[in-house]
Structure 1
Amino acid sequence: MKKLILCVMICLFGVGFSLAQTLTSPDGNLVMDFHLSADKTPVYSLKYKGKDVIKESKMGFQIRPSFDFSKNFRIVETKEDASDTTWNPVWGQNSVIRDNHKELFVALEQEGTGWLLNIRFRLFDDGLGFRYEFPVQKELRHFTINEEVTEFQLAGDHKAFWIPADYDTNEFQITTSKLSEVPQLIDKARDEALACKSPSPNLAVQTPLMLKSDDGLYINIHEAALVNYPAMHLNLDAQTFLMSSHLTPDKNGTKGYIQTGSTSPWRTIIVSDDARNILASNLIVNLNEPCKLEDTSWIKPTKYVGVWWEYFTGGGSTWAYTDTQDIVIGKTDYTKLKPNGHHGANTAHVKEYIDFAAKNGFDAVLVEGWNEGWEDNYAYAKEFIYSFTKAYPDFDVKELQRYAASKGVKIIMHHETTSSVADYERQMHDAFRFMKENGYDAVKTGYVGPIIPRSEHHDGQWMVNHYNRVAETAAQYHIMVNSHEAVRPTGMYRTYPNWIAQESARGTEFESFNGIRPDHQTILPFTRLMGGPMDYTPGIFEGDLSVYGSNKAKLGTTLVKQLALYVTMYSPLQMAADLYQNYEKYPDAFQFIKDVAVDWDNTYILEAEPGDYITIARKAKGKNEWYIGGITDENSREAVIDLSFLSTGKKYQATIYADGKTADWRTNPKEYVISTKKVTNKTKLKQRLAPSGGVAVSIKEL
């Protein structure tokens, strides 16, 4: 009898580690299962309120040259844990963030090789995050990845908001379709005149990917804490709705060079039956490491204007000082060259913007085209393109430093690399020292064109390390970074809060050439902005660019929608992007841009449906002021603005900036009306939004 009991115990012990491990979210709505399949492959699944979010999906890797690191595992150990804490971001949409999750840690060993692989799951009320951990081990020290075998087996033919997978750009128009329709639409979606394109050879889309199921689930797939690893795209089987990881390769075809003792980024799945909860999620930022900077007092959310939009309008301003093409950085003497007479970044013109910023309470002025090299910036043709320490002859660095300081205004440096990243790395410390010596504490970096080193892509491992290295190095000099044309963000701003914003999507500049569809801004918060704030550069009042000359482009929004974007398109770095003369023509509408905050105590998602509409309210940090933005797509609608977030028993005055009765982005974009109304927390405002229109509201306590 004792022998029988012992035998049963041994059998149960042996089987126990192959049985499913179940993890339930703190509120009980999400359930994640993990187990080994028949061929001992790690698999997971996820349900929300009993509905399938992710059906059984495989995990693991294919390792060069042809090792299968995705099956024949045994479970060595499992551990469960839980955490419920709060933390305070340096800046953000909320001044306090809660991190409440349950955790499952699984240690695996591959039979035959003896290689070890760990997987860590964290389940929050709003979704799941998991990552691979590569423990230090005798049998495996360095390896290269052919592909990551992470699957997302979706439960149906979901509605998707997607852009095609591309290793070098994320500036495509967003396409809305069923997953099954992607194969027929992807060639058209890729047919864009962008600065640099490297499409994936397989059918794949980019993350963050937003999905909506027929049974009412909203699902967002992305990644968090992208460090020393390539960015992830998603392969698509349009018949079975299986999505799987597709890592960005270098041009030799290698996906990643890994040393044990490291981890992968977190794979994130945010899910809810209410679209508002997707926008309210802090899952991605919670999965990032805490701030690594001891002193963050120098990091300041910023509102700025700049010498920028005039380059896109067709009005004649240029980044280049001369029309001479035969430029050799470090050898060409610009004082001996004839100016072209159109250079925008000249001392007198920059002073005009400094005066405007000071008069209207803006913190800073961005100046593009200040430095030597813009005449001959042929991407991929030359490596030494710019100097980041030598200004053009008509840009007086010291005088502008003195003048800006006298007005209480900062100047934002611009480092366009035209993707000659090797040269930027050589100059980076000198460039940051130059900035500090001349009073600059923020830089806009740019990566237009194919990458140099020529073996690399924008979204590959080498470039991911570069972007992170720029943020880390800039922090040493107390410099804030706003990166353009970089890999899409993954919440790294928690770790390096000086990485204050990114572009990494189709922004306002496209209004001047390829165009932006009216639904674009109602989708971006559900896709690109899930990983972090965007320098979208809103605030264009004069939307008909033909008034400047030959450019026939027209803005895809009403003027009021441009105001609302300051609330709906979150960023602690917000630009009033239009020419300052246009703001002087509409001072009453411009007042909202002057007033609106860039840092917040609380955020309230009032209405949301991806691709259709968004209404958001935010409380300004440290003030009894609230700002609301509501936007719609090409369809007119009525926004219902519930003010129950206001304090009970108090009275407030709301200033409402609304589309006019005949406003329409196509025919009458600049018609607006401004009204005031006394409100309380019991008030519900109902406001018509014009086609591609909006509403902006400022609320102050009486």
Structure 2
Amino acid sequence: FRAFNDGIAYQFIDNSSKTKTVVNEQMTLTFPDQTSSFFPQEESFYSHNEREYIHKDVSDFATGDFCSLPVMFDTKVAKVLFTESALLDFPGMFLEKSDTTTMNATFPKYVLEAVPNEASNPDRNQIITKEADYIAKVNGKRSYPWRVFIISDDDRTFVESNLVTQLSPESKISDADWIKPGQVAWDWYNGNNIYGVDFEAGVNDNTYKYFIDFASENGIEYVILDEGWTKSTTEILEDNENIDVPGLIEYAKSKNVEIILWVLWKPLYENPEKILQLYASWGAVGIKTDFMQRSDQYVVESYEKIAEIAAKYKLLVDYHGAFKPAGVERMWPNIINYEGVKGNENNKWSSAITPEHNVTLPFVRMAAGPLDFTPGAMINMNKVDYETGAANYAPLFTRPMAFGTRAHQVAMYVVFEAPVQMLCESPTIYYKEQETVDFITQIPTIWDETVVLEGAVSDYIIIARRNGDTWYLGAMTDWTARDFELDLSFLGAGEYKMQSFEDGINAARNAQDYKIVSGAVNQNTKLKIHLSSGGGYSAILTKK
């Protein structure tokens, strides 16, 4: 057992040298009456773990309802965030409703056989056809995952807490200078939907040179080549006939931009050494591996093995179609992000990504670690646009719209932790919104200090982060407009220049309305800010 100012944790330690199977790990949580939950309910263990957070009393969930982690409970006296850390070579835990106010641990069984799902994208989706009657195989002495409880009556604690990292194994990479944080231009959200050019857009050299040029001109460190660059999604040792990946990587390097390559998990894990060695030989600096969709022991172990081999070839790893961070990213810090979050890409096909969802994430999902939400949407939409019906709103796969204001999206670059942070929009649109891009690209992706100034889960968050001598403010609200007066005493001595990106006066009518304001502040300043409905606020405070 371990106790901290912001929570407690326990783990089992097995000192037996024998080989064994683990039938189950038992844990029961019993809550006071009227305890509610922010509950990422799952339908199957076979899942991307990209869920909305259902907020209702524990007693109102049906017996058998279950969720992935992390999950938050509100006892009315304090809140408890439950998750796990040091998840290594063991299945991920889920929680299942068992009685009126009781949740039990539950785990995916050890998978003996999985076959392609011929009815639904068999290159990536599987059907589990045979499972063992145990959850793990264990060989000799070991420690099991930490069961982590972050506990507070102040919602800000859940954003500031680092318990998952503190309980994680230490890094196995002695020289990590090659691991570079930064921003990345991304193609898949916008469907390579560029225009006003003299070539046909798509998965081809000209399109990606356009992305690379955009990144280079704006000081963006990376470009991702997402799905489509390989000969097929399972033939991943060759690029397709319309694209020269080694040539693009060489072109990108000449522009001070590096390339990250998307790849399906299943074919990658069949021969990771050969594949990652090849990508590194081309000059790629990372992979985005996708569609794991499982939390059984075999797949959990693959996260560590892929990261280890990637580190050998100095490759970054971004896990998509993934479970939440649970400690292996400290052991292998070349893991620079995880999805495991219902993020901006869902705007392509659903209306789930609301400001309320966005201001729930920092308190629940982000408590486990970084999240690849992929912010930066420039086609922004008010609540009224959606509520008036389909005549004004429908998801568009290659031209997605995002709920909330432009300033709401920009604030995500300060609020959401992501050592490699996406810019999801089409470069063509970004070129038309250069002022916004210029602000976003000033925001770093790693931090020396974090102070949460205001926060209420699912309602609003205001956060201050420091990188070097510069402070960055990020504020987001749900559909409720809010006003705040911020205490800037955290700045310490000295005067600061301030540049802020704020909701415009008409943001409640047109979500794309914003204003950029310059000023000066110090530790005695009481800074008044206004957040429109679904709004946001960001500021860069540079020491004079």
Q: TM-score scaled to structure 2, two decimals?
A: 0.89
Deviations 1:74-126 (A, max 9, x none): xxxxxxxxxxxxxxxxxxxxxxxxxxxxxxxxxxxxxxxxxxxxxxx011111
Contact 2:211/2:427 (8 A) holds in 1? yes
Query: Which residue of the partner structure matches residue 637 of structure 1?
Result: 482
CA distance in 2, matches of 1:212, 1:592: 37
CA distance in 1, matches of 2:453, 2:396: 41
User: CA separation of 1:491/1:156 partners in 2, compared to 1, >3 Å: closer, same or farther?
Assistant: farther
SS in 2 for 1:298: coil
Contact 1:224/1:288 (8 A) holds in 2? yes
CA distance in 2, matches of 1:669, 1:643: 28
CA distance in 2, matches of 1:576, 1:372: 23
CA distance in 2, matches of 1:157, 1:438: 57
Residue 414 of structure 2 is aligned to residue 567 of structure 1: yes
- Deviation at residue 551 of structure 1 after TM alignment: 6.8
Query: Which residue of the partner structure matches residue 155 of structure 1?
Result: 32
Aligned length: 508
- Deviation at residue 274 of structure 1 after TM alignment: 1.1
CA distance in 2, matches of 1:445, 1:688: 40
The percentage of counterpart residues that share the same residue type is 29
Query: Which residue of the partner structure matches residue 224 of structure 1?
Result: 85
- Deviation at residue 552 of structure 1 after TM alignment: 8.3
Query: Which residue of the partner structure matches residue 175 of structure 1?
Result: 54
Query: Aligned to 1:408, which of 256, 265, 290?
Result: 256
Contact 1:218/1:278 (8 A) holds in 2? no
Deviations 1:547-584 (A, max 9, x none): 99787863112111000001111111111110112122
Q: Give 1:626's aligned amino acid.
A: W
Query: Which residue of the partner structure matches residue 144 of structure 1?
Result: 21
Query: Which residue of the partner structure matches residue 647 of structure 1?
Result: 492
Contact 2:66/2:97 (8 A) holds in 1? yes
Query: Which residue of the partner structure matches residue 692 of structure 1?
Result: 534
Q: Give 1:465's aligned amino acid.
A: E
SS in 1 for 2:379: coil
| Aligned residue runs from structure 1 range 79-98, under 5 A | none
| Aligned residue runs from structure 1 range 459-608, under 5 A | 459-515=295-351, 516-543=353-380, 554-608=401-455
- Deviation at residue 681 of structure 1 after TM alignment: 0.8
- Deviation at residue 491 of structure 1 after TM alignment: 2.5
CA distance in 2, matches of 1:492, 1:662: 45
Query: Which residue of the partner structure matches residue 110 of structure 1?
Result: none
User: CA separation of 1:533/1:136 partners in 2, compared to 1, >3 Å: closer, same or farther?
Assistant: same
Query: Which residue of the partner structure matches residue 243 of structure 1?
Result: 103
Residue 515 of structure 2 is aligned to residue 673 of structure 1: yes
Q: What residue ranges of structure 1 are gaps of 5+ in the alignment?
A: 1-120, 184-200, 317-340, 375-384, 449-456
SS in 2 for 1:481: strand
User: CA separation of 1:469/1:221 partners in 2, compared to 1, >3 Å: closer, same or farther?
Assistant: same
**Bigger shift: residues 426-435 or 267-276:** 426-435
CA distance in 2, matches of 1:700, 1:257: 53
Contact 1:615/1:639 (8 A) holds in 2? no
Deviations 1:164-214 (A, max 9, x none): 13312212222111112222xxxxxxxxxxxxxxxxx92222211112222
Contact 2:185/2:224 (8 A) holds in 1? yes
Deviations 1:488-517 (A, max 9, x none): 211322111001101012111001112212
Contact 2:38/2:73 (8 A) holds in 1? yes
Q: What residue ranges of structure 2 are gaps of 5+ in the alignment?
A: 112-129, 382-391
Q: Give 1:414's aligned amino acid.
A: W
CA distance in 2, matches of 1:486, 1:437: 27
Larger Rg: 1
CA distance in 1, matches of 2:14, 2:499: 55
Q: Give 1:603's aligned amino acid.
A: T
Query: Aligned to 1:298, which of 178, 197, 203?
Result: 178
- Deviation at residue 371 of structure 1 after TM alignment: 3.3
Q: TM-score scaled to structure 1, two decimals?
A: 0.69
CA distance in 2, matches of 1:690, 1:370: 39
SS in 2 for 1:470: helix
CA distance in 2, matches of 1:487, 1:150: 20
Q: Give 1:537's aligned amino acid.
A: T
Q: Give 1:161's aligned amino acid.
A: F
CA distance in 2, matches of 1:510, 1:353: 22
Deviations 1:249-279 (A, max 9, x none): 2451532223341221000011012111121
Q: Give 2:207's aligned amino acid.
A: H
Contact 1:303/1:576 (8 A) holds in 2? yes
Residue 502 of structure 2 is aligned to residue 658 of structure 1: yes
Contact 2:344/2:402 (8 A) holds in 1? no
Query: Which residue of the partner structure matches residue 272 of structure 1?
Result: 152
Query: Which residue of the partner structure matches residue 372 of structure 1?
Result: 230
Q: Give 1:433's aligned amino acid.
A: Q
CA distance in 1, matches of 2:108, 2:485: 43
Residue 206 of structure 2 is aligned to residue 348 of structure 1: yes
CA distance in 2, matches of 1:237, 1:691: 39
Larger relative contact order (C-alpha < 8 A, sep ≥ 6)? 2
Contact 1:564/1:695 (8 A) holds in 2? yes
Contact 1:371/1:386 (8 A) holds in 2? no
CA distance in 2, matches of 1:123, 1:343: 55
Contact 1:546/1:552 (8 A) holds in 2? no
Query: Aligned to 2:167, which of 287, 290, 295?
Result: 287
CA distance in 1, matches of 2:284, 2:219: 18
Query: Which residue of the partner structure matches residue 188 of structure 2?
Result: 308
- Deviation at residue 370 of structure 1 after TM alignment: 4.5
SS in 2 for 1:493: helix
Query: Which residue of the partner structure matches residue 282 of structure 2?
Result: 438
SS in 2 for 1:434: helix
SS in 1 for 2:89: coil
- Deviation at residue 343 of structure 1 after TM alignment: 6.7
Query: Which residue of the partner structure matches residue 208 of structure 1?
Result: 70
Query: Aligned to 1:628, which of 470, 473, 481?
Result: 473
Contact 2:502/2:538 (8 A) holds in 1? yes
Q: Give 2:20's aligned amino acid.
A: F
Query: Aligned to 2:247, which of 388, 392, 399?
Result: 399
Query: Which residue of the partner structure matches residue 32 of structure 1?
Result: none
- Deviation at residue 546 of structure 1 after TM alignment: 7.9
CA distance in 1, matches of 2:206, 2:80: 51
- Deviation at residue 436 of structure 1 after TM alignment: 1.4
Q: Give 1:394's aligned amino acid.
A: N
CA distance in 2, matches of 1:224, 1:234: 15
SS in 2 for 1:519: helix
SS in 1 for 2:529: strand
- Deviation at residue 247 of structure 1 after TM alignment: 1.3
Contact 2:190/2:398 (8 A) holds in 1? no
Contact 2:191/2:398 (8 A) holds in 1? no
Q: Give 1:148's aligned amino acid.
A: E
User: CA separation of 1:142/1:536 partners in 2, compared to 1, >3 Å: closer, same or farther?
Assistant: same
User: CA separation of 1:386/1:371 partners in 2, compared to 1, >3 Å: closer, same or farther?
Assistant: farther
